Structure 1
Amino acid sequence: MSRPLQHMLLVEDDLAWRERLDVVAREEGVQVTHAADGQEALDWLCTRPRASHPDLILLDLLLPRMDGWELYGQLRTNARLRHLGVLMFSGALNGKEPPLDGVVGYLRKPHAPEAMDLALRAQLRGLPELPTRASSEPYALQLPEDVCLPLRTLPSALGHAVRLHLLRAAELVGTELPLASTWLMALPGTPPSLLVTVEGVQVVLEVDDAQRRLTASEVSLAPGLFNGA
């Protein structure tokens, strides 16, 4: 089942990409508003009444100031913005991304904007209904600078995969958190904590149920992780 798409917020810092994707969207009958980074997009959304919010955010994940992952985290924890649908795109996506609340799809970003025309048109024409949001407020995810630093050293594809799984853990913890899985494990102790493991990267998340918040407290990288990178 699909719905009409009339207005899209394009968050992309590269002018050539903005211009090309704007042309494609307008040819599909979609009005486009632009933002050059996550902070500009967030500021714009927060000053707009809900009635004038876009139907979709086309979000590049690699951005200056506030990147796409941080913007998505801000959207999902803001009650006024949680209804917004997001279509993510990045050269580091591999087609195996886990589901995230409000994310309607993923597009792999090729080297040239023109190479994404067909994929974007298909998404705009067949935008699925957004999944029903959980009634409870989702947990916020906080990544202190001492945790972000080693994550920034990762190859881009692996860094994206880790961020995806951290955000997925923040969604699961308030609803259907498994005691153990291939990538997520509840650790014994008080206060409670979670262990996220993705391809040799382990991140410990401290759980604050009162504040509905996950805070990354420790990150470890497997020896030899960068061999051959």
Structure 2
Amino acid sequence: MSRHVQHLLLVEDDSTWQERLGEAARAEGLRVSHAADGVEALEWLKTHPRAGHPDLILLDLSLPRMDGWELYGQLRTTERLRHLNVLMFSGALSGGEPPLSGVVGYLRKPSAPEALLGELRAKLRHLPEPSPREPSGPYALKLQDDVALTLGLLPRAECHAVRLHLLRAAELVGTELPMTSTWLMALPGVPPALLVTVCGVQVVLEVDDEQRMLRATSIHVPSNLLRMS
């Protein structure tokens, strides 16, 4: 068992998954707390003193009310919660996810929990030490309603990939790292803006340095990616 993990918060809405993953974590000697979605997890964390916080959050990315991506963004931009470490899992992860601060790993979610138990227990035994955090934290990320609705029409894998890279942009914008890459580009103009391009999806982010915020103001999606209801 990784020495720095003794208490796990499992954020999962399915009772069968919650039971089986909780059993696997307890078999590794962890104390396990539960939350059914991001709203419940955030409330749990805010009402418990920091000394009672978990060493690790096992976070399903597809949740009702507040999904895993939004919860992660709340953790990273709330000073009292920025120390928390996250192990993400989802059936839509590709295995090539870029690093996010505080995320110690990703697990691909199979169709049944039994198929994940061995990999989860191995991961818990060999978790890496979390990387140091930026003292000021990342910029907050705000999606305009039309951008959020359009993202919701994407297939899950593409939606997760775009959401992950938007959060990565929020981490990079406050650093001295170059703002041009295969997926991130600085746009000329006032106010300053960034262009995130992932899976053919393009999202424009306005940069508000005073509020330390990125606002997703527009999105372009190839027609073949849109799920029609």
TM bracket (short chain): over 0.9
> What are the superposed Cα offsets for residues 175-198 of structure 1, whole Å, 9 maximum, x if unpaired?
134232100000000110000000
For residues 5 and 177 of structure 2, the distance between their equivalents in structure 1, rounded to whole angstroms, comes to 33
Q: Could you tell which deviates more after superposition, 134-143 or 184-193? A: 134-143
Post-superposition Cα deviations, 1:46-77, rounded to whole Å, max 9, x if no partner, equal: 01111110000000000000000000000000
Q: 3-state DSSP class of the match of 2:17?
A: helix
Tell me, yes or no, if structure 1 residue 149 matches structure 2 residue 142: no
Residue in 2 aligned with 1:37? 37
Answer yes or no: is 1:213 the counterpart of 2:179: no
Q: Aligned AA for 2:197?
A: T
Match of 2:184 in 1: 184
**CA distance, structure 2, for counterparts of residue 145 and residue 182 of structure 1:** 27
Which residue identity lines up with residue 178 of structure 1 in the other structure?
P
Alpha-carbon distance in structure 2 between the residues aligned to 1:100 and 1:179: 16
* Conserved 8 A contact 1:10-1:35: yes
Amino acid in the other structure paired with 1:46: K
1:107-146 alignment to 2 at 5 Å?
A: 107-146=107-146
CA contact (8 A) 2:58 2:87 kept: yes
Tell me which amino acid in the other structure corresponds to 2:6.
Answer: Q
Distance between the aligned counterparts of 1:7 and 1:91, measured in 2? 25
Distance of aligned partners of 1:172 and 1:143 in 2 relative to their CA distance in 1, 3 Å threshold: same
TM-score w.r.t. structure 1 length? 0.96
Count residues in correspondence.
Answer: 226
How far the C-alpha of 1:135 sits from its partner, in A, is 2.0
- Once the two structures are TM-superposed, the CA of residue 4 in structure 1 deviates from its matched residue by 3.3
Q: Which residue of 2 aligns with 1:61?
A: 61
The separation in 1 between residues aligned to 2:143 and 2:226, in whole angstroms, is 22
Q: Deviations over 1:92-141 (max 9, x none)?
A: 00100000000000000000000001110011111111101112232000
4+ residue runs of structure 1 moved beyond 6 angstroms?
none
Offset, 1:3: 2.9
Q: What residue ranges of structure 1 are gaps of 5+ in the alignment?
A: none
- Please state if 1:50 is matched with 2:50: yes
Structure-2-length-normalised TM-score: 0.96
1:81 maps to a residue whose letter is L
1:18 equivalent to 2:18? Answer yes
**2: CA distance between counterparts of 1:179 and 1:137?**
18
Matched residues, percent identical?
71
Which of 140-149 and 97-106 deviates more?
Answer: 140-149
Mean Cα deviation higher: 128-137 or 56-65 = 128-137
Shift of 1:226: 5.0
